[in-house]
Amino acid sequence: MINKGLQLVKGSVFKLIEFFLGAILGLFLMPFIIETLGEASYGLWILVGSFIGYYSLMELGLTSAIQRFVSRAIGQRDELTINKVVNTTLSIFLFLGFCVFILTFLLAIFVPRVIKNIDDIRSFRFVILILGWTFAISLPGKVFSGILAANIRFDLTAIIEIIRLSIRTILIIIFLKKGEGIIALTIISAVTELGCSLAKFICVKKLYGYIILSHKFIEIKRIKELFSYSINTFLSTIADQLRFNVDNLVLVNFIGLSSITMFSIGARLIQYFKEFMLSLLGSTIPIFSQYEGQGDYDSIREKFIFLTKISIYFSITIGGLLIVLGKAFILKWVGMGYVQSYTILLILLIPTLFDTILIPGGGLLYGLSKHRYYMFSNIGEGVLNLFLSILLVKNFGIYGVALGTAIPMMITKIFIQPIYTCRIIQLSIKDFYCRHFLPVLGLSSAVLLIFWMIIKNLILRDYLNLLLLSIAGLCLMLATFFLFGFSKDEKGYLIELASKVYKK
């Protein structure tokens, strides 16, 4: 397990670096691009991005299917199955890429006829053609991302993305400062994206020589197996759109456009919190799939409990810092006029804590092909979210919309998902709650309360003050959790793992 743990930690470290770099560069680039391009061109860029964003659905959940079946075959040491899965999926992605190619051409022709206020139709068509065709060409590259993920090489994918982000940012700054416009921005984005796909292909060819790209390994019957897994991921992704993107539609229809800004400030911090936790612990699918391939269900149960414990400590630490310092940060960041955003943050944060705590459970369900539950759960949560948001917005306004999101999530994450996950791996739900979940949650909550009592009179609306308090809280809580929250064997494992990471 040490080698798998080492790979997982390395991947998490580099994914966290990628997350922080992407967030910082995004915050820096947005005002720069608006200023250099102008509001009209930037609006065009966002419009095209909204179209291209939906292209991600064209993956049909197959990237997760590659992770699942290749990682299981790795556990079984079955190179023939790996080649069959890889080549069959590659053929599907090539077909889907061709479909995207045609779809992009049709969008470039017909969208300007429907949306009359596109001033520069020629630029719109150039941008959407280049970015759409870039996605079509890079779509087969998702296969190589899946292979790296199945081998727990998230460090390599993150390093490639970090390099892409850095090069893209440098080129954008250079060319936009020279007076180049949206055409240059489009070409830079396309070239760096294609370079990223090429780099992943080269990594796979260098590291895994047993993978052979040939039509001889394509199996028609395997397509059914792939889609039987990926369809649930695909439908779950669509349900996520309903879960997380319906709030703005309710707000604009029942309150007005201005309410979206107030709501989005708190929601944006929640989104960063979730992305941080996913970067830290969202790479567990191949771990569980490889153990299943080996038939080692004892290790599956053991690692699920251990990873959930880690997830609780980090969720309470980071989420707790948002609770304690979030109000001062929001008032410093956007001003006194947005104090309501902190209430939105609190309403959404409580259920999100349980959502992030159960990230390892989600990885387990995907890793064992039991994620059909996820699809039904997400659809049910999304429908209930929409119903409650419309019902509550009439009496509670913007807070009602937040509650409409929070209540279904609380029901799902506290009562439904843990019970289902424990049943899948034949773990006593009483044992899970009483011995593992509630004691760890109680310890972490108590430490957070003590930290708040210590620093509540030291909080200032100042970035340096908030940064120092965050670092102090992070060190205090994680050190306490390590000393008192893990068994002797778990501490020994973590120390050995940290030692190996340090040597690497």
pLDDT computed for residue 140 by the predictor: 85
pLDDT computed for residue 346 by the predictor: 92
pLDDT computed for residue 257 by the predictor: 55
Measure the CA–CA gap between 263 and 402, rounded to whole angstroms.
8
Measure the CA–CA gap between 168 and 178, rounded to whole angstroms.
15
Measure the CA–CA gap between 282 and 366, rounded to whole angstroms.
11
State mean pLDDT over 236-254.
71
How buried is residue 476: exposed, middle or buried, by Cβ count under 10 Å (0-12/13-18/19+)?
middle
Give per-residue burial for 451-472: e unless 16+ CB within 10 Å, then b: bbeebeeebeeeeeebeebbee
pLDDT digits (tens, 9 = 90+) for 312-337: 888 988 898 999 998 898 888 777 87
pLDDT over threshold 60, residue 115: no
Q: How many CB atoms lie within 10 A of CB 241?
A: 13
pLDDT over threshold 80, residue 501: no
Query: 388, 393, 427, 432: which is closest to 410 by C-alpha?
Result: 388
Task: Look at 205-209, 255-259, 426-430 and tell me which has the smallest mean pLDDT.
Answer: 255-259
**Residue 40 pLDDT level (bands cut at 50, 70, 90):** low
State mean pLDDT over 373-401.
83
**Residue 44 pLDDT level (bands cut at 50, 70, 90):** low
pLDDT over threshold 80, residue 241: no
Phi, psi of 427 (to 5 degrees): -110, 130
State mean pLDDT over 202-206.
87
Task: Look at 106-110, 193-197, 349-353 and tell me which has the smallest mean pLDDT.
Answer: 106-110
- Tokens at residue 145, please? 């991302």
Helix (H) or strand (E) holding 157: helix 154-177
- Tokens at residue 407, please? 């209540």
pLDDT over threshold 70, residue 27: no
Query: In Å, how far from its chain's centre is CA 283?
Result: 10
Q: How many CB atoms lie within 10 A of CB 51?
A: 18
Give per-residue burial for 119-139: e unless 16+ CB within 10 Å, then b: eeeebbbbbbbbbbbbbbbbb
Predicted TM-score (pTM) of this structure: 0.72
Phi, psi of 218 (to 5 degrees): -75, 125
pLDDT over threshold 70, residue 242: no
Is residue 61 left, alpha or beta, with left meaning phi > 0 and alpha meaning psi from -120 to 50? Answer: left
Are 389 and 404 a contacting pair, CB within 8 Å?
A: yes
Task: Look at 63-72, 98-107, 237-246 and tell me which has the smallest mean pLDDT.
Answer: 237-246
How buried is residue 53: exposed, middle or buried, by Cβ count under 10 Å (0-12/13-18/19+)?
exposed
State mean pLDDT over 238-265.
70
pLDDT over threshold 70, residue 117: no
Measure the CA–CA gap between 300 and 287, rounded to whole angstroms.
9
How buried is residue 489: exposed, middle or buried, by Cβ count under 10 Å (0-12/13-18/19+)?
exposed
State mean pLDDT over 77-105.
86
pLDDT digits (tens, 9 = 90+) for 178-199: 777 778 888 888 889 888 889 9
pLDDT digits (tens, 9 = 90+) for 443-460: 888 888 988 898 888 888
pLDDT over threshold 60, residue 469: yes
How buried is residue 296: exposed, middle or buried, by Cβ count under 10 Å (0-12/13-18/19+)?
middle
Are 162 and 17 a contacting pair, CB within 8 Å?
A: yes
- The contacts of residue 51 (CB under 8 Å, 6+ apart) are 107, 111, 128, 132
Q: Over the chain, what is the mean pLDDT?
A: 81
Are 116 and 40 a contacting pair, CB within 8 Å?
A: no
DSSP string, 429-465: HHHIIIIIIHHHHHHHHHHHHHHHHHHTTT--S-HHH
The tokens 């038939």 sit on which residue? 295
Domain ranges of the chain: 1-235, 242-504
- In terms of average pLDDT, the best of 146-160, 209-223, 395-409 is 395-409
pLDDT over threshold 80, residue 160: yes
State mean pLDDT over 203-228.
83
Percent of the chain with pLDDT over 90: 1
Query: In Å, how far from its chain's centre is CA 346?
Result: 21
pLDDT computed for residue 111 by the predictor: 65
How buried is residue 401: exposed, middle or buried, by Cβ count under 10 Å (0-12/13-18/19+)?
buried
